[in-house]
Chains A and B, each alone.
Chain A
Amino acid sequence: MTLPMQTMKEGVYEERPGFPTQYGPDRTDYQPGVPFWPHEAYRDLVIVFVLMAILLFLSAAYTPEVGPAANPAIQPFIVPDWYLLFSWGLLKLADVLPTIVFTDPLGNLINMDAAFWGNMLTFPLVLVPLLLLPFIDRGRETRPAKAPVRTAVGVGFYLGFLFFSSLYATNDRILQSWPFIADDALKWMVIIPPILITFATYVGIRRLGFRDMYWWNVLLIGSAFAVVLLMSLWAFALGPWAADGMSPIDRLGTLGDQNAWPLTVFMVIVILYSAVLFYATAFLKERKAKEVVLAASVITFFAVVIAAKGFADWIFPATFSALKTIALYSNYFIALPLFALVTFYLGTRTPYSTYEYLLNECYQCGKCHTVCPVTKVEDDALGGLNLVYNTFKKQHDGVPLWTCLACDACSAVCPLDIKYSDYILEERSKVGAQGAAADGGRRYGE
């Protein structure tokens, strides 16, 4: 006996690819996949052998040393293995937090010192969000490019926070090699760049062409820029973190007035360049933004070269030492242009370059075919299949590139909001750029 629902389903979905009428191994279109033996097994064995070969090569060529024996009399200058560096960096960073000592109601002395805060930063700060992650992020979207907040936080956390806190673990060696960098500047490097990387990733993903960017995103990113700009100005003008309490302005005074000019010029160049990049990324159209940024980059490059060369060789020979002074607070001057560049690059990517990704969402509901006016008059398309799906599979069924009216009826009914006509127009513009006219024929005069 066949249920009425089953009959209806078969009537609707008969002969449609991707719509099985039965389920399980009895399906007529049952495709069993790849046999485990030998296909999968061979592939797995290849992976195992390659891994084994890499390990054998490493242990033969880079045999680990045992090193000197543990000696209680000597305090060694050690660096832990790379995977624990982040913890050690946070432990070192924790001395900025206040030491709190009190007695709890049970009479225990609670001593919250730097080591305690290091523990707190390492374990609860990293682990608790990880454990709670599935209960915090409850949306259904799994694609990284379509979940911008999750991806941005992940990039900021993994690439930013863990990397820069690992970097801070080696602060002894950095300070030894570059004594003019302040320790506080390195500490801020753990905090500021991850936040900036998060923002930059977020901007980039929002502008990939999946969704329009909300107006408040521009304000958010703009205020992040503004905060960084203000902090760099603050660091330059006041500089409360130097070991001896001197601000760069004071320090410049000790170097002589002649250095104030070159430093001011460099500062103005960097800040102007960043401001132009931000303005272009956030407010201008893509094509215009690219032109503006290219011009600004070229001008900035020559301005910096000419300024550096001019100040160093012709006017003030002491500029180099003055630049070393400003390097105390170099975190902002490194982080800001990098942030601006990354944001710009991500923010002005061609929106439709990821269209394949979008079309891939189609699950062949067929609504676009139902509403498409072209399929009603084109002979090829009368019994045609699904519009978006077939386009994606490179099977143009009567609505090829040049007969589409771009009427957007398909987008209006698409349950996944796939902008089919945008895709068509983009493809046409690509072909047009290669020399074909819009009607598929030759250009006039050829």
Chain B
Amino acid sequence: MPRESLFGRLNRKVFGYLVSRFPPAPWSDLTRRTVETVQRQVPRSHAEKYELKTIWYWYPLYCLGGIAFVAFIILTITGILLGFYYIPDGTIEFTRTGDVTSAAYESMNFIMNDVPFGFMIRGLHHWGAHVMIAAVFLHMMRVYFTGAYKKPRELNWILGVILLLVTLFFGYSGYLLPANDLSRGAATIGINMAKAVPPLWLGEFQTLVFFGELDPTGFYILRMYWFHVFILPLAGTLLMVLHMALVWIQGVAEPH
């Protein structure tokens, strides 16, 4: 039997790896049938299928990813509302009495004091962020402890780790925006961390990419705003859709 060429073997290996994890299926047909079926049904879980006794107190843990997603939707809505009033300008200014302020800080005060229910919207955004990050951490713990990252779900685990990074960066860039003392202190730490990567030019380059300046004078707020309202939501939404599509394709992994 003639030996297969190197390219052929490599091709089979790579293709076989992918196909064994994502078996080809008529996804469009399945989707259409699911949508068109009157009685749309949630498939039985492993435990139901084999009539195993369910460990019911574990089941809320399988809801954590969904809670993170619901919190993300709430954050999107409240974030859009906040975006109507927030001014991403951290340039230092002085009031008539000589106090330090900035346009961003003034707009925060405007949202909190003058916009009708502005404090509620900001409160929802603030606490929603905490809930989302907590849910993401707990979701990750659930996936870890139930071994749900094993074959064939490796790719989804890696996507999840990237989404964790995205969420943390969401949180970090979010609490840099109000231009208060916490924002300035956190920006100082972040800029120093980014600058510390050797060699010098690389550290300064990535500091300029992420913060736009080498010392926290206030320009970092515009940069963080753009990350917070455009780049991260775009990347995050795409990755989340992919993450959930993979869960749908590969099924929920539950311990049995």
Interface residues of A (CB under 8 A from B): 17-18, 31-37, 40, 44, 47-48, 51-52, 54-56, 58-60, 62-64, 66-76, 78, 80-81, 83-84, 88, 91, 104, 108-113, 115-116, 118-119, 122, 127, 130-131, 133-135, 137-144, 147, 150-151, 154, 158, 356, 360-361, 363, 392-393
Q: In this complex, what residue of A is CB-closest to B129?
A: A81
**Which residues does chain A contribute within 8 Å of B53, judged by CB atoms?**
356, 360, 392-393
Which of B1-9, B65-73, B235-243 is the contact stretch? B65-73
A62 and B153 CA atoms in complex are apart in Å by: 40
Q: Is B128 an interface residue (CB 8 A)?
A: yes
Which of B12-20, B23-31, B44-52, B225-233 is the contact stretch? B44-52
Which B residues, 185 to 208, have Cβ-Cβ distances below 8 Å to chain A?
A: 185-186, 189, 192-193, 195-201
A116 and B74 CA atoms in complex are apart in Å by: 37
Q: A110 and B199: CB pair below 8 A? A: yes
Which B residues, 164 to 190, have Cβ-Cβ distances below 8 Å to chain A?
A: 165, 168, 171-172, 175, 178-186, 189
**Which residues does chain A contribute within 8 Å of B79, judged by CB atoms?**
none
Please classify the interface of chain A as helix (H, G, I), strand (E, B), loop, or mixed, using the class held by over half of its residues: mixed
Q: Is B101 an interface residue (CB 8 A)?
A: yes
Q: A66 and B178: CB pair below 8 A? A: yes
What is the interface size of chain B, counting residues whose CB is below 8 A from a CB of the partner?
84
Q: A51 and B127: CB pair below 8 A? A: no
Q: B70 and A48: CB pair below 8 A? A: yes
**Which residues does chain B contribute within 8 Å of A74, judged by CB atoms?**
181
Q: Is B144 an interface residue (CB 8 A)?
A: yes
Q: B161 and A127: CB pair below 8 A? A: yes
A390 and B198 CA atoms in complex are apart in Å by: 65
Tally the A-B contacts, defined by beta carbons under 8 Å.
223
**Which residues does chain A contribute within 8 Å of B180, judged by CB atoms?**
66-70
A135 and B141 CA atoms in complex are apart in Å by: 18
Q: Is B253 an interface residue (CB 8 A)?
A: yes
A55 and B218 CA atoms in complex are apart in Å by: 31
A72 and B102 CA atoms in complex are apart in Å by: 12
Q: A84 and B171: CB pair below 8 A? A: yes
Tell me the smallest distance from the CB of A41 to a CB of chain B, in Å.
Answer: 9
Answer whether A56 and B196 are a contact pair too, CB < 8 Å, given A71-B184, A83-B137: no
Tell me the smallest distance from the CB of B42 to a CB of chain A, in Å.
Answer: 5
